[in-house]
C-alpha cells in the first residue's frame, strides 16, 4: 500500500470514528434482531421512535444485512423522507427532531463499508443527499456537510460525486445561500483575525465575490 493511500485510509478511519454511533435515544423501537423487510415496512411509517430504532439496527448490522437493506431500497426511502421533511420548512420541533433522526440513519448507512460503497456506485444518491440541504434545520445541514466531506475523503470517486452534486446545484439560489452560510461559519470559526482574513482571501480567490453579485 502506498504512503498516500495509507494516509487516506487513516483519515477515513478517523472521520469514521467521528461520524460513528450516536448516543442512544431511550425512545426507540426495539429492532435488535429485526430483518431488513421489517425495517423497510417501518420506514413507511416515519417517526422518531422508528428512525431511532433503525439507526441502532443499522449501526450493529453485518454486511449481508446491510446489502439486503440497500437492495430493498432502504436508502431510497430514507433520502425521500429527508427530502419531504426538508420541504416542510421545519416549523415544528417535532419535524426538526424527525429530520435529525432520519439523517442519523443515513449516517449509519454511510458508516458501513457496504453502505458507502453502494452510495459511491450510484451517483444519484449524492445529489439527493445534497438536495436535503434545502432546510432551515442548521443541525441537519451540518451533518450533511460532514457526510459530503466523508465522501471526499473516502475515495477519488466519492470526491468526484460530491463535486458533481455541488456543480449540479451551483445556479440554485437557495443552495447558494446555504453554501455561503457554511463558508461564513468556516471563516468565523477561527479566533485569530489573521487566519480569518487568510481564509476569506482564499475564498475570494475562488470567485466568491462573483457569486455574491448574483445574489444581489
DSSP 31: -
Domain boundaries, the chain: 3-154, 170-216
* 60 or 130, greater pLDDT: 60
Query: CA angle, 12 as apex, 170 and 148 as ends, to 5°?
Result: 20
Residue 179 has pLDDT above 70, yes or no: no
What confidence score (pLDDT) does residue 135 get? Answer: 78
Q: Is residue 28 predicted with pLDDT exceeding 80?
A: no
Alpha helices in the chain (DSSP H): 3-18, 36-43, 48-59, 63-71, 74-87, 93-110, 113-121, 124-131, 138-154, 156-168, 173-188, 193-205, 208-215
Q: Say whether pLDDT at 10 is over 70.
A: no
Mean pLDDT in residue range 115-119 = 94
pLDDT per position as a tens digit, 123-134: 889 888 888 877
**Percent residues over pLDDT 90 in the chain:** 34
Mean pLDDT of 185-204: 77
Confidence (pLDDT) at 26: 46
Higher-confidence residue of 176 and 163: namely 163
**Residues 65-110: tens digit of each pLDDT:** 999 999 999 999 999 999 888 765 555 788 888 999 999 999 999 9
CA distance linking residue 115 with residue 97, whole number of Å: 24
Amino acid at each position: 500500500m502506498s504512503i498516500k493511500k495509507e494516509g487516506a485510509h487513516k483519515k477515513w478511519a478517523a472521520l469514521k470514528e467521528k461520524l460513528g454511533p450516536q448516543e442512544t435515544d431511550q425512545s426507540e423501537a426495539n429492532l435488535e434482531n429485526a430483518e431488513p423487510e421489517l425495517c423497510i415496512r417501518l420506514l413507511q411509517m416515519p417517526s422518531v421512535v422508528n428512525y431511532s430504532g433503525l439507526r441502532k439496527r443499522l449501526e450493529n448490522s453485518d454486511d449481508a444485512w446491510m446489502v439486503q437493506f440497500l437492495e430493498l431500497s432502504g436508502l431510497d426511502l430514507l433520502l425521500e423522507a429527508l427530502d419531504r421533511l426538508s420541504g416542510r420548512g421545519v416549523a415544528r420541533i417535532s419535524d426538526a427532531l424527525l429530520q435529525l433522526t432520519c439523517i442519523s440513519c443515513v449516517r449509519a448507512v454511510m458508516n458501513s463499508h457496504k453502505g458507502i460503497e453502494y452510495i459511491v456506485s450510484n451517483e444519484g444518491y449524492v445529489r439527493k443527499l445534497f438536495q436535503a440541504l434545502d432546510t432551515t434545520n442548521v443541525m441537519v445541514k451540518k451533518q450533511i456537510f460532514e457526510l459530503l466531506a466523508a465522501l471526499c475523503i473516502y475515495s477519488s470517486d466519492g470526491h468526484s460525486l460530491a463535486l458533481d452534486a455541488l456543480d449540479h446545484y451551483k445556479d440554485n439560489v437557495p443552495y447558494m445561500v446555504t453554501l455561503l452560510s457554511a463558508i461564513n461559519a468556516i471563516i468565523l470559526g477561527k479566533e485569530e483575525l489573521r487566519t480569518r482574513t487568510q481564509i476569506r482571501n482564499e475564498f475570494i480567490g475562488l470567485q466568491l465575490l462573483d457569486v455574491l453579485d448574483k445574489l444581489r
